[in-house]
Structure formats: C-alpha cells, structure tokens
A and B are shown apart, each in its own frame.
Chain A
C-alpha cells in the first residue's frame, strides 16, 4: 500500500476508534448512573441522556408523520446552513484580511479603530442579529432574502480572528528580509505582496481555522431571530420544544451541526496544506 494512503487509512481508523470510545463512555455513564441510582449532577434517564442507538435510530425515522426520514430533513437543513456559513466565512475572511492590511499600514488608523473592532466582538451576537436582519434584509435581492442576512451575521463572527491574525502575521516578516527588499528599492506594494503577505499566511490560516467553525455557529445563531425554518438553527428551535418527549431529535441535530463544523475545519486544513509552504519546524 502506498505510504500516503496507509497514513490516511490509519488516521480514519483513529477517528473511528475515538468515536466508538466516546459512544462507549456515554453508554457506560448511563449504565453506572441508572444501576447505582445516582442523581448527581443530574438524574440519568432517557430524556437527559438518550441511548446512542435511540439517537442513531432517530436519523432513520420521520420526526413527524407524513415527513421523510430525519436524516433527509437534516441533510437539506444542513445544506441551507452551510450556504450561509460559506458565504459568511468568505465575506468575513475577505473583510478581516483587507482591514488587517489597511490597519497594518497606518498606526493612526490602527489606534483609532482597533478598540471599536474589539468592542464589536464583546457584544453578544444574539443582541446584534435582529438588527442585522432588519437592516440588511430589505436591501437584499430576491434570491438572497432571508439567508443573506444570516450570512452577514456569520461574517460578523468570522472577520475578527482573521483581522487580528492578519495584523500580527504582516508584522512577522523577518527584519533581514525587509532589509533585502530595501536593497531592491522595493515599494510598499511589492513588499506587501512578495514578503509581508506570504509571511503572514501561517497566521492567517490559524485564524481561518477558528473562523471556519465560528461561521457555522454564527449561521445557526443568526437563523434564530430571522425566524428561518430551513436551516439547522430552525431545526434546533423546533426540536427544543419537543425535547421532553423526543430528546433524540435535538441530539441528532447537534451531531449534524458538529459534522458541518468539522467538515469546514477539514476543508480549511486542506487548503492550508496546499497554500502554506513552510519548513516543517515553522508550521503551526
């Protein structure tokens, strides 16, 4: 077997093993707590901790009569949320990067704007989301209606780590390398594109990995005040109401949401492997 394939196989096996172990621990916990009758920190029953197989079975069954299986519904809802997060992620990454480049070139702008940009992140996203929906939605063309505003909310959550790490990364260029560019009488623009930006990429990608998962969270939360039913956020609100009767459906939704986050993370990781060429000891 060729080396890269066997390595991928080993990694997949490791992931699967961890998954099985987690499911095992979950079931072990349920068994110990129910047999011993412990009620601390909470009583374990089929509502607080449904069995793994109950959750697995829920995927295959319709959540409501006359509906397709839950997995089909969640798949479509996940696609809807992914569209919001992908657009939000891209928007946030571009805004964060461009802002980073601009602020890196002006100490004055950096001093003036950075405190407000930091403040923007201390406001809970749930408090901002309704306003974004009200402001953005009326201006959006038909096909963007509804989900477009959610993408903006996701972008609000993703731009910040990208901005901070772009700033840091652009300043990470080696002093000798900057001197070298000076000997070439390089202008600001060449120094930026040939040296500072390539030097910043490991930092930018560290931020993009954070932003990838944050964009999924942002999209799900953004759906709540928008009253959108087509995404995972809508599903979570919906299944929340039935939690005391059928907890497995909310659990199933959470698993799908987590899978979307992991998928995004892995895609960014793959892009990083292709784009960032560094000595092995310098890879973050």
Chain B
C-alpha cells in the first residue's frame, strides 16, 4: 500500500466573522490516482476544504499533508495545480502565454515552455488558438485553457473548484468526458468540488458527501462504475443506483438544504 497523496486529519475551520464553523473534524485520505469529488449544498465547506488542502486557507486546528509534506511546503514546492470556477485567464496574455504562466514561475526557458504549451494545447484540444486572447474564446474553451495551465507543470495533484459550474449542460458533459480521458492518461490525483450529483458520480472513484452547519462528511460513496467511462455510462443502471445513493445521503443529512436537482 502506497502513501496517501493527501491526508487530512481532524481538520476544523471556524471563521471568526459570524462565528461560522465551516469545517468540523474532517478526516480524509486520498490515494494516488484517485478522483475524489466533494459534493454538498452551498455552505457545506467543500470549497473551504479544497482551499485548506491547497494552503490558501489555514485550518483552525488539525493537519493536512500533501505528498507527506505540510500543505504549506507542498504549495511552495508547487505540488498541485488548481482550476477555479472562472477560468482566471489573464486578459493581457494570449492563450499560449496563459498556459505558460506557471512554467515562467518555475523558471523554464523559452524553448522548453513553447514545447510544453504545444503539448498542453493538443491535450485540451485548443490547437490553433494559442495566439488568441481569452475573451476571444467561448466559456468552454476558456476553461480548457485553464485546465491546460493547471496541468502544464505535471503536478501530481489537481484541485478543481466547481470548474464546470458556469458552463451550459452540453459543454459540461463534453468537458467531463475530456477531463476523464486526460485523467486516465496522466494518472494524477484529483480533488473535484461540485454541486452536481451526476457529474460527481460520472467522474469519480469516490464521492465525499458533505453537509452544512457545521461542515462535515456525511458519508463516502465508492463509485464502482467500469472504466473507461463514456456516454453510455450515464445510461448504466448502476449509475442511477449510485446517483440515488448520493442523493439520499445528501437528503438524510440536510433535509432543508438540498442541492439543485439534476436533470438526469
């Protein structure tokens, strides 16, 4: 048994303002190559937990290790890539230069950067758009560029905070498929925050269901759908069983706080 990529033990986070307990005594371990979704209604702390893993927020108590280092050291060593709900591409940079940004930060030389950016553009199917500026791309293409930027330096861990939340359903399903094929090729570990049940079940190897006030883990569902997954997976009876299982966990723990129902 190999070491966990992310290990979260007894993590609690309270925000002084409003005296909110965003996370309470969270325990979770992520093994290499896992695709773990965090799902729950707004206010359940799923984004907070992601930020604690990325050392963008410090926990009030408890410890997080990433690659057997403190979260802080892992961030400084650039052990993870991150994708937000907005693409957060810099307007003043072309798509290629946006993808190259983390490589510049790592001090790669121009030629090496150019090569990697070309590979990344191919990976996310953006060939020919390198010289475009972000605002010239559709929302889906912007998010693909953002994923390419997060993966450009081959981090072992990928943190995704509702990356497809702002996209329309069709684009979202297509990007789900693309993300899966990228993940299968690269074998990285993914933490994926979402409020879509079907998306979580379709993508993940495990779904962590969270409930709010205080934010805690309501249950974990192992997703045993066969791999590789494709469009037909969404029609598999087992898919519906798992979706129901996740939904029931959400319902049991937060009667009055259901996430938006999915059009299945």
Contacts and interface: CB of A to CB of B under 8 A. Distances in A.
Interface of A: 174, 176-177, 179-180, 182-186, 190, 194-195, 198, 201, 276-282
B105 A190 contact: yes
Interface in B170-200: none
Contacts of B102: 184
Contacts of B91: 277-279, 282
Contacts of A198: 90, 92
Given A180-B82, A277-B133, A195 B90 contact: yes
Size bin of chain B's contact surface: 20 to 34
A183 B90 contact: no
A199 to B, nearest CB: 8
Nearest to A176: B88
Nearest to B136: A279
Given A185-B76, A198-B92, A180 B84 contact: yes
A100 to B, nearest CB: 18
| A contact patch SS | helix
Interface in B71-88: 75-78, 80-82, 84, 86, 88
B56 interface: yes
Given A184-B78, A185-B78, 19 more contacts: A174-B88, A176-B84, A177-B90, A183-B75, A183-B78, A183-B81, A183-B82, A184-B101, A184-B102, A190-B105, A194-B104, A198-B90, A201-B92, A276-B92, A278-B92, A279-B135, A281-B135, A282-B91, A282-B135
Interface in B90-134: 90-92, 101-102, 104-105, 133-134
Nearest to A198: B92
A183 B86 contact: no
Contacts of A281: 135
Nearest to A181: B105
B54 interface: yes
Nearest to B105: A184
A180 B88 contact: yes
A184 B102 CA distance: 7
Nearest to B57: A179
